[in-house]
Amino acid sequence: MAAAAAAASRTLLYSSHSKIFFFPFTNCSRKLHRPIINKNPIFVPLRCLQSAQQNASTTHDPMRSRSSVVDILEERGLLESITSDNLRSISTTSTLKAYCGFDPTAESLHLGNLLGIIVLSWFQRCGHKAVALIGGATARIGDPSGKSLERPELDADTLEKNTQGITKVITRILHMNSISNVNGNDNHLNSSSFFVVMNNYDWWKEVRLLDFLKQVGRFARVGTMMGKESVKKRLESDQGMSYTEFTYQLLQGYDFLHLYQNEGINVQIGGSDQWGNITAGTELIRKILQPDGDVAFGLTFPLLLKSDGTKFGKSEDGAIWLSPSLLSPYKFYQYFFSVPDADVIRFLKILTFLDMEEIVELEKEMNRPGYTPNTAQRRLAEQVTLFVHGEDGLNEALKATEALRPGAETKLDWKTFEGIAEDVPSCSLASDQVLNVSLIDLSVSSGLLDSKSGARRLLKQGGLYLNNSRVDSETKRIEPQDIVDGKVLLLSAGKKNKVIVRIT
């Protein structure tokens, strides 16, 4: 059995249509290459599995003790609908292959896409296999679900750039968490927790229209397609719906049929607005293949909303991106740290992998006297940042948070300022515009505050800071020792408004 496990750990896991391959090595010497769609095949090592497989073969039988991923998702508020309740029992006795689609409409995924990655990760943690499908073909059409207007057309170069960007994000997150969970000896995980990234353009580019209409189109009933919620809403609007958009559900349905036939993928997951597109796939599988009983399943999760019903995932600066090149780990962390008390417990259940017992205890603590404000928010921010950006990203966010906290004892230096420069407004002033200038005047000339009277009022209230130290005197002037490393200083108005002043 040990020999079999060692052989298995050298097996290449791949999709015949995918350009990204995931290869488990038997030792810890490995190189990680950046995945690029539509280029030469790339081997991405996931982790060292030999010892883990040997331990699993002797101490853990995942087929006997596997938890129902459906029940876990339901308990945490991540289950909206399923096409058949049989998925609950099947998920405890069989290894499923679940996929979630991501159309490359931008160069990074955003917070609204994170739930799909989290649900895929839950399938992994329960011993199933996860597949992320990049919609290189369907993005050329545009999903009308939840949209009041037709999506703008994307050119080939933009699609390629976006495809590479979101593939990198998905691979980084799922790969990083696969490694961290195995190293943490998570007993839910085993060799089936590999994931694959595929691109539906790899098969759609070979499909002929007449063949598609003959083999698939005749099984699609127009009445059923017209009855989909996403279609009805658009048809009732002034803009209406183009034939191109109308066919989207059939294209996504065919993806599921193709993946089921060729890859054995039997579960499709998506947001609640994807229900019509997902059931289009299960219907095609039922009508064309005519299997005995339930063989393909759809599962949807709720959209990410705040308690007031508005979408969660937007900030004053725009979307909350998952790529660190578009949104720093610090700003990502701060977004979750500022979640209202009314939402934080629900988000801990939905967006983290903390035990439910810990989350329940946090909820009880929030209602007890002496509760330290934002304790739950801090836990949420740490866990989600860790999942998306890894330990390095979390450490970067925590360091920047401490450095920018008014009253913090962290010693500011030039290196610290460089680390937070992209996240804080800045201005450049000549030395004679800074040295021996009153703090009140500098607060206005730097753009931190609008008026001297406002600066004086804030100072009296104890809310004006120089290099994180509160200033109490209206007569305070900038001295050479106030300028960090002779190059820069930090002004703060309260906890959130800050500006870096660079000395030129």
Task: Give, in degrees to the nearest 5, the angle at Cα 190 between 200 and 100.
Answer: 25
* Cβ atoms of 404 and 396 closer than 8 Å: no
SS (H, E, C) 286-334: HHHHCCCCCCCEEEEECCCECCCCCECCEECCEECECCCCCCCHHHHHH
Q: What is the pLDDT of residue 426?
A: 86
| Phi, psi (deg, nearest 5) at residue 60 | -145, 125
- Whole-angstrom Cα distance, residue 489 to residue 4? 62
Q: What is the pLDDT of residue 181?
A: 54
Q: What is the pLDDT of residue 4?
A: 44
- Whole-angstrom Cα distance, residue 312 to residue 324? 19
Give me the residues of the chain with pLDDT under 70, please. 1-66, 143-151, 179-193, 314-317, 407-410, 419
Q: Is 426 exposed, middle or buried, given 0-12, 13-18 or 19+ CB atoms closer than 10 A?
A: middle
* Cβ atoms of 265 and 99 closer than 8 Å: yes
Q: What is the pLDDT of residue 37?
A: 36
Q: What is the pLDDT of residue 313?
A: 73
DSSP-derived letter for residue 501 is: E
Q: What is the pLDDT of residue 64?
A: 44
Q: What is the pLDDT of residue 148?
A: 55
Q: What is the pLDDT of residue 29?
A: 34
Q: What is the pLDDT of residue 496?
A: 78
Q: What is the pLDDT of residue 469?
A: 86
* Cβ atoms of 392 and 327 closer than 8 Å: no
* Cβ atoms of 300 and 230 closer than 8 Å: no
Q: pTM of the predicted model, to two decimals? A: 0.76
Q: What is the pLDDT of residue 10?
A: 33
Q: What is the pLDDT of residue 144?
A: 64
* Cβ atoms of 263 and 15 closer than 8 Å: yes
Q: What is the pLDDT of residue 365?
A: 95
Q: What is the pLDDT of residue 145?
A: 66
